[in-house]
Amino acid sequence: MARPMSKSEIAAALAEAVGITKKQGAIVLDTLAQLAYKNAKNSFTFPGVGKLVLVNRKARKGRNPKTGEIINIPAKKVVKFRVAKAAKDAILGKK
């Protein structure tokens, strides 16, 4: 299996495609990440790729797999990424 692209490889590919320097490509990636972190509470949409959303999980009961003891898991907020339909179709192919 191929390894995932590193940040510098993504920045270089972005720079080549747009016609900017690799350093500027890295700045674009950092800025996009900072925007996503800042706006994730209201949901952040990356067009054509997906959406970051903040979801409230309810409290629930779980089980300790080692002892079998039932435990209470408290409510908490989690960040989820929902993949866009366009991304699914491009990666998996249309059904």
Task: Say which CATH topology domain 43-95 has.
Answer: HU Protein; Chain A (4.10.520)
d(Cα 25, Cα 11) in Å, to the nearest integer? 5
d(Cα 6, Cα 11) in Å, to the nearest integer? 9
Q: What is the pLDDT of residue 94?
A: 78
Q: What is the pLDDT of residue 69?
A: 95
- Bin 2: left if φ > 0, else alpha if -120 < ψ < 50, else beta: beta
Quick check: 54 and 41 in contact, CB under 8 A? Answer: yes
pLDDT in tens, 10-60: 999 999 999 999 999 999 999 999 999 999 888 999 999 999 999 999 999
**Per-domain residue ranges of the chain:** 1-39, 43-95
